[in-house]
Amino acid sequence: MTTDVNDVNDVQQEEHRSVSTTTPTRAPHQDVPGGHPPDGGRVGGGLFDPKQLVKSLPDALRKLDPRVMIKSPVMFVVEVGSVLTTCFAVASPSDWFGWAIAVWLWLTVLFANLAEAVAEGRGKAQADTLRKAKTDTVARRLNGSAEERVPGTELRIGDLVVCEAGDIIPGDGDVVEGVASVDESAITGESAPVIRESGGDRSAVTGGTKVLSDRIVIKITTKPGETFIDRMINLVEGAARQKTPNEIALNILLASLTIVFLLAVVTLQPFAIYAGAEQPMIVLLALLVCLIPTTIGALLSAIGIAGMDRLVQRNVLAMSGRAVEAAGDVSTLLLDKTGTITLGNRQAAEFVPVKGVTEAEVADAAQLSSLADETPEGRSIVVLAKQGYGLRERHQGELTDAEWVPFTAQTRMSGVDVTEHGTVRKVRKGATGSVIAWVREQGGTVPDDADRLANGISEAGGTPLLVALEDERGARVLGVIHLKDVVKDGMRERFVELRKMGIKTVMITGDNPLTAKAIADEAGVDDFLAEATPEDKMALIKREQAGGKLVAMTGDGTNDAPALAQADVGVAMNTGTSAAKEAGNMVDLDSNPTKLIEIVEIGKQLLITRGALTTFSIANDVAKYFAIIPAMFAVAYPGLDTLNIMRLHSSQTAILSAIIFNALIIVALVPLALKGVRYRPVSADRMLRRNLGIYGLGGLIAPFIGIKLIDLLISAIPGIG
């Protein structure tokens, strides 16, 4: 086999790109499940794509059912008000004002339902794509040593099924025998196949995916109708969405405010009669709708659905809205070192020569001894020798008289014996003790600084590999190769951002404390847990939770399952075991551990969006008071006219303008509810001040401008002005 240095370099750079990016790379036009483009954009032509609106409109109309509307107390009150206003308008068919109020109240309810229907519609588009992947398959079930063909729907937990190249996997399970390449593009949107094998943390397979090569035996772990795809379909289309604790609490607050304003409006009429300014029921209903927090009441459900949708766009499946919300409140992040903070494979960082030897000599010998080494460490040595020292390209094929010495657990070193011009050169690289012993066996000497250089690299958290050469000058140590875990680009900056958000980062590793501390210092994490066992992880999570903190972590193995279940946000890798996926409350379909940081940011964005729009909605109502109250009582109490600071045209245009603005502002805020308020990694205090400044002040000013403009337009209509 020939290993060209250029090929090795290309492979190494590609491998670096594939593991260091935060999100997976896709083809420019390849969509993730549900038809979302890779940039997280919206389906189709955008939020107000006519096709999407037309599709959502029937759902919005169906949601007018009072049994559905009562789930949102605020909008249920608006619907009841719409029905009563319509009845009063029918009783006075010539009253244009009554009909106008009735129409706009119905539009207010419809716009609220449309916001939720559009959000759900995007989930249904994803569900439709997933249903295409769900096919009725015939399974080859093992019955002893014999096979029997049965429908996939008849499989039960514990059944063993055989799948070979070209077969569709009939149900969720774990590989218990064999190894195969599997196409999971129907689930993840990734065209590249993945390897699934028995006896490791990459044994889980999903029903509906396709085996591309070899033969595997799968043990079924789920019942028909409860497979991973079934759960995904239910979750993304909203059928299984439950309100989160914060959402329930906010609904209770909105319901309480609605009751308070309802009582206020009911008791207002006796005072109006006493003052000689009895109000029509239509006006009182309009006042009630304007006083209650209709804006956030209309958008609350859409905000929650959109939060889960943003995760799906990034190929993360949240098992509940509670998990997304908990991600926004996380204060401690547990991150595996390997594959999350570091690239996952040790890389050659430098060649350190002993006294009397040059770096170029060490690099030349290290490259020569690594040409047959197909490990990531071996390839990185070849790449460093070429890039750092400009060594000429070599490949195994040109070394016709070479005898390659493979690495074994007994010798703990590898190398090559090369015959050049009748002279044999022997090059070895490996563990310090093994190489030193080899040099001494050949009658060579070991420089005093060889041990010192190797120990220095170990103390710095790296792994030393000694390089030795035997030629006509005898056997001798040339120097040390410094292998180190390479921290991914940008990780330190990400941790700085998390620190600004008040989130503590803890690196989990099986390395010794010395190595762990070196990596932790380089990456910039707040703390680390070295030589970690599953019990250590559980104990750490419980300690953090006992201090009132919410904890998030990732995992993929069966031994991670207890910790994933204990964590407030447990993100299981899709490549992991079924036990890990069952224990976590989120599944990353791309199996990218770094995505945990993105999940936390999405959770915080959800909470910020809800808080910002609640602030805007409540501030929004202030201007409506100045529009409606003077219009209602200025005749009885002329002094109230001073509150008519917008100088609205008449009492009827003032009330109608407020109702129209109340409906239109819902439509205007739908994009923000679905897209989310822009997230910035700042402290909670600064975020609160920013949101109060933008959405509090904005919610106070916008209605004054909007209501005045609408009043000018209405008053210009012939027969009204």
* Catalytic-role residue among 167, 183, 230, 336: 336
Residue with tokens 């070895």: 428
- Residue 386 and residue 44: Cα distance in Å, rounded? 48
The residues, any chain, with a CB within 8 Å of residue 508's CB and separated by 6 or more, are 334, 335, 336, 337, 528, 529, 532, 537, 553
- Residue 569 and residue 329: Cα distance in Å, rounded? 10
Give the model's pLDDT for residue 79. 95
Q: Is 343-486 a domain of CATH 3.90.1150.10?
A: no
DSSP string covering 250-264: HHHHHHHHHHHHHHH
Residue 269: helix, strand or coil by DSSP? Answer: helix
Residue, of 188 and 239, whose pLDDT is higher: 188
pLDDT, tens digit (0-9, with 9 covering 90-100), for 539-562 = 999 999 998 889 999 887 777 888
What is the C-alpha end-to-end distance of the chain, expressed in Å? Answer: 90
Give the model's pLDDT for residue 237. 58
**For residues 709, 714, 718 and 719, what is the CA-based torsion angle, rounded to 10 degrees?**
-140
DSSP symbol at 41: P
Of 66-80, 481-495, 602-616, 638-652, the poorest mean pLDDT is in 638-652
Quick one: average pLDDT of 304-326?
80
CA 611 to chain centre: 21
Of 6-15, 208-217, 389-398, 488-497, the poorest mean pLDDT is in 6-15
List the structure tokens of 665: 């502002």
Q: Is the dihedral of CA 245, 249, 251, 252 positive or negative?
A: positive
Highest mean pLDDT among 19-28, 47-56, 226-235, 618-627: 618-627
User: How many CA atoms lie within 13 Å of 575's alpha carbon, on the beta-carbon side?
Assistant: 16
Which is the CATH superfamily of the domain at 316-339+489-589? HAD superfamily/HAD-like (3.40.50.1000)
Give the model's pLDDT for residue 621. 80
Confidence of residue 332 (pLDDT cuts 50, 70, 90): very high
Query: Is 222 in contact with 581 (CB distance < 8 Å)?
Result: no
Quick one: average pLDDT of 66-70?
90
Residue 48 in this model has a pLDDT that exceeds 90: no
Give the model's pLDDT for residue 559. 74
Query: Is 485 in contact with 376 (CB distance < 8 Å)?
Result: no
Pairing between β-strand 586-588 and β-strand 316-318 as defined by DSSP bridges: antiparallel
Q: Is 120 exposed, middle or buried (0-12, 13-18, 19+ CB in 10 A)?
A: buried
The binding site for Mg(2+) consists of 556, 560
pLDDT, tens digit (0-9, with 9 covering 90-100), for 566-587 = 998 988 887 777 778 888 888 8
Judge whether 138-236 and 343-486 match in fold: no
The binding site consists of 373, 377, 407-414, 429, 556, 560
The residues, any chain, with a CB within 8 Å of residue 639's CB and separated by 6 or more, are none
Confidence of residue 105 (pLDDT cuts 50, 70, 90): very high
Give the model's pLDDT for residue 103. 95
| Number of neighbouring beta carbons within 10 Å of residue 572 | 29
The binding site for ATP consists of 373, 377, 407-414, 429
Helix axes 96-133, 281-291, angle to 10 degrees: 40
Q: Where are the domains of the chain?
A: 50-121+238-308+602-716, 138-236, 316-339+489-589, 343-486
336 catalytic residue (yes or no): yes
Instruction: Look up the pTM and report it.
Output: 0.66
Confidence of residue 196 (pLDDT cuts 50, 70, 90): confident
Confidence of residue 218 (pLDDT cuts 50, 70, 90): very high
List the structure tokens of 35: 């038809």
Query: Is 349 in contact with 715 (CB distance < 8 Å)?
Result: no
210-211: strand order across its sheet: 194-197, 179-183, 210-211
- Residue 77 and residue 362: Cα distance in Å, rounded? 80
DSSP symbol at 485: E
Q: Is 138-236 a domain of CATH 3.40.190.10?
A: no
**Phi and psi torsions of 173, nearest 5°:** -175, -170
Q: Is 693 exposed, middle or buried (0-12, 13-18, 19+ CB in 10 A)?
A: exposed
Q: Is 545 exposed, middle or buried (0-12, 13-18, 19+ CB in 10 A)?
A: middle
Give the model's pLDDT for residue 128. 66
Query: Is 351 in contact with 361 (CB distance < 8 Å)?
Result: no
Residue, of 235 and 261, whose pLDDT is higher: 261
Of 234-243, 598-607, 610-619, the poorest mean pLDDT is in 234-243
**Phi and psi torsions of 355, nearest 5°:** -60, 130
Output the CA angle 154-155-157, nearest 5 degrees. Answer: 140
| Number of neighbouring beta carbons within 10 Å of residue 408 | 10
